[in-house]
Amino acid sequence: MAHSRLLFQPGARQSLRKGFNLLADVMEITLGPRGRLVAVERENSRRAPELLNDGAQLARRFLGLPNRFETMGAFMARHIAWRMEETVGDGATTAVVIARQVLNEADRYAAAGYNMMSMRRGLEKALVVVLQALEKQAQSLATPAQIVALATSITGDEILGRYIEEIFDTVGPQGAVDVRTHYARTHDRTYIQGTFWNQGWVSSYFTTDAGTAVLKNPYILLTNRNLEKAAELLPIMEKIRAAGDRGLVVIATTVTGGALNILVTNKTRKVMPTLAIRAPGLGPEKSDVLQDLAVLTGGVVFREEAGTRLETATLDDLGQADEVQAIRSGFTLIGGKGRPALIRERNLELRRQLPKAGYGRERDRLIERAGKLLGGVALLNIGGATEVEQETLKERAKEAVHVVRLGLQEGIVPGGGVAYLRCLPALAALSLPDEEALAIPILQSALAAPMRAILRNSGFEASPILARMGDGVAQCGFDVMSGQMVDVMAANIVDPVTILHAALRTGVSGALMALTTEVLVHKPRANRDEDVDFNP
């Protein structure tokens, strides 16, 4: 007997596919340089709707459909988008479009009675071949014009595109770039010669001029402890005072109570220049960042877990720098006195961790830390007429910085969907047994899906243009901005190979999960009186 909270085949696959397609259709509208806008109602219905042209943002806004089983399918599409954002930070819409095409094509064969598991094995084998063909197309992102074109295509702002190219030319592929808004209507960029971190002074009593605290040629005490007692700092402060007219910067997890009072008192009474700064980073990362600062300044980190008492610290245990500047929201360290060889070694150590780090925050933080060790930080300041415009451009600029960095580090391929089409010959040459061979036409259709969506969104008929491109061996493609066939690499229409690789892999994997789902279970919110329940 059917149950209202359980759905078996064939209804399960139909509902799953319908919900998946609904969200995919909404996201697909935004794909390409001429993607359309989607209006999303705000919680306060009296406000104007939010206008979005980014598929990942649309997926984040999605909360459900009237039919609970169709909602499950839509959430599978949303999960694919989330995976792309977490791993490589872009390509969410491309991955969902590919997944939708694989799901729909395979479902037609399944409805005709073909074996689903055989198709799955074939798709897994064919995917490996296509990914290898994609990797062979990779070229280095070398010219300034390519970087400007890539950044401009993401931000929609040529000035931002030129600034992003200039920034990476200055700080390099591993350099630290901080994107933020400012009060002006125009964009700007600033370069900081030193290490900048987003944690500032503990108390405004430390400021020396207009909200800024500046100490020249200070000693630097680094610890991951919560400092509370004045007795912990008094011995080292006496040693610094006896050594000459220099100040003390304390970088710790927290500085409160008597420890904060003794620092503030010495500063306000002009006995000794002092400054207390919160340690940068989150959770366990604080210790890693403190170690970076120790290498940069030539000091040591007093770790709570090591049990070393601060009272035993000597001047040799302290770091040194030419200058430390701090505001409420961050601090800059200029001219660290660490040994250059140790700084280079620490930088290489962080860069060696990159291949093993997952794309997303972990990898971004490693890149940021490695860049800051080299002593250069770029600030990209985003302007705009309204706050909404600034926030929108800020998000696009962050995405552009991320995508350009990936292109510089791991290479680019022809953009606009051309790279996927150039994988078709390798797929056609693949030989698979029996029903596994159905994977070849399924994947062929999926590889053309992104370009079809881009062409439709730009107002062009896709089929004749794809026919003109032939089997994808040539590097020609269709420029939707000019409406002409062009050499896409020469026209600087490019994509990072990492993003296309991840989109194809994630999209096919997500579709396979949906294809092999046989039963849908709806879990009620209040389930005490329900016959069916699945507890976590």
- Give 527's pLDDT tier (boundaries 50, 70, 90): very low
Q: Is 410 helix (H, G, I), strand (E, B) or coil?
A: helix
Q: How confident is the model at residue 149 (pLDDT cuts 50, 70, 90)?
A: confident
- Burial class (CB within 10 angstroms; exposed 0-12, middle 13-18, buried 19+) of 334: middle
Per-residue model confidence (pLDDT) at position 475: 63
Give the side-chain half-sphere CA count within 13 A for 81. Answer: 24
Q: C-alpha 438: how far from its chain's center?
A: 35
Among 35-49, 257-271, 476-490, the range with the most confident prediction by mean pLDDT is: 257-271
Average pLDDT for 110-122: 87
Alpha-carbon distance of 365 to 198, in angstroms, equals 13
Q: Tens digits of per-residue pLDDT, 508-519?
A: 999 998 888 878
What's the whole-number mean pLDDT along residues 431-453?
Answer: 91
Contact yes or no for 70/54 (Cβ under 8 A): no
Proportion of the chain in helix, strand, coil states, percent, rounded to 5 = 50, 15, 30
DSSP-derived 3-state class of residue 313? coil
- Please tell me the distance from the alpha carbon of residue 534 to that of residue 523, in angstroms, as a whole number: 7
pLDDT band at 249, cuts 50/70/90?
very high
Cα 99 to Cα 127, 449, 503, 518, distances in angstroms: 13, 10, 9, 18
Whether 143 contacts 168, CB under 8 Å: no
- Answer yes or no: is pLDDT of 270 > 50: yes
pLDDT at position 284 over 50: yes
**pLDDT one-digit tens code per residue, 16-63:** 899 999 999 999 999 988 888 888 888 887 877 877 888 888 888 888
The helix/strand/coil state of 32 is coil
Examine the pLDDT at 371 and tell me if it is beyond 70.
yes
Bigger pLDDT: 43 vs 277: 277
For tokens 């694989």, name the residue: 102
Confidence band, pLDDT 50/70/90 cuts, at residue 535? very low
Share the mean pLDDT of the chain.
85
pLDDT for res 155:
85
Backbone angles phi, psi at 524, to 5 degrees: -70, 160
Whether 400 shows a pLDDT value over 50: the answer reads yes
- Looking at residue 143, its pLDDT comes to 83
Q: What are phi and psi of 398, to 5 degrees?
A: -60, -45
Q: What is the DSSP letter of 175?
A: -
DSSP state letters, 435-449: GGGGHHHHHHHHHHH
Residue 2 has pLDDT above 80, yes or no: no
Q: Quick check: helix, strand or coil at residue 490?
A: coil
> Cα–Cα distance between 455 and 485 in angstroms, integer?
12
Written as one string, the DSSP assignment of 268-297 is HTTSS-EEEEEPPSSTTHHHHHHHHHHHHH
Give the pLDDT score at 528.
44
Angle formed at CA 322 by CA 316 and CA 327, multiple of 5 degrees: 110
Residue 386, Cα to own-chain centre: how many angstroms?
25
**Cα 178 off chain centre by:** 13
pLDDT over 80 at 420, yes or no: yes
Answer whether residue 376 shows pLDDT above 80: no
Q: Three-class SS of residue 249?
A: strand
CB contact set of 526 (below 8 Å; sequence gap of 6+): none
pLDDT in tens, 173-193: 777 788 888 888 889 888 776
Q: Minimum mean pLDDT among 129-143, 324-338, 417-431, 472-486: which range? A: 472-486
pLDDT interval class at 533 (50, 70, 90):
very low
**Structural domains of the chain ordered from first start:** 6-139+415-521 (1.10.560.10), 154-186+375-410 (3.30.260.10), 197-338 (3.50.7.10)
Strands 484-487 and 476-479: antiparallel
Widest distance between CA atoms in the chain: 88
Half-sphere exposure of 15 (CA within 13 A, CB side): 21
**Dist. CA 93–CA 495, nearest whole Å:** 14
Q: Cβ neighbours of residue 445 under 8 Å, at least 6 residues apart? A: 101, 105
Residues 407 and 150: their CA atoms lie apart, in Å, by: 9
The predicted structure's pLDDT at residue 29: 92
Q: Comparing C-alpha atoms, which of 488, 503, 501 is closest to residue 150?
A: 488
Backbone angles phi and psi of 324, in degrees to 5: -125, 125
Summarize pLDDT for 289-329 with one digit per residue, the tens. 999 999 999 999 998 888 788 888 999 999 999 889 888 88
How far is the C-alpha of 220 from the C-alpha of 406, rounded, in Å?
A: 35
Phi first, then psi, for residue 336 (nearest 5°) are -60, 145
Residue spans of alpha helices (H) in 137-198: 144-155, 158-171
CA distances from 149 to 155, 293, 486 (A): 10, 36, 15
How would residue 121 be classed by pLDDT, with cut points 50, 70 and 90? very high
- Measured CA to CA, the distance from residue 123 to residue 505 in angstroms comes to 11
For the chain, the residue count is 536
pLDDT at 479: 84
Residue 370 DSSP class: H
User: How far apart (Å, rounded) are the C-alpha atoms in residues 72 and 116?
Assistant: 20
* Percent of the chain topping pLDDT 70: 94
Contact predicate 310/236, CB 8 Å: yes
Q: pLDDT at position 408, please?
A: 85
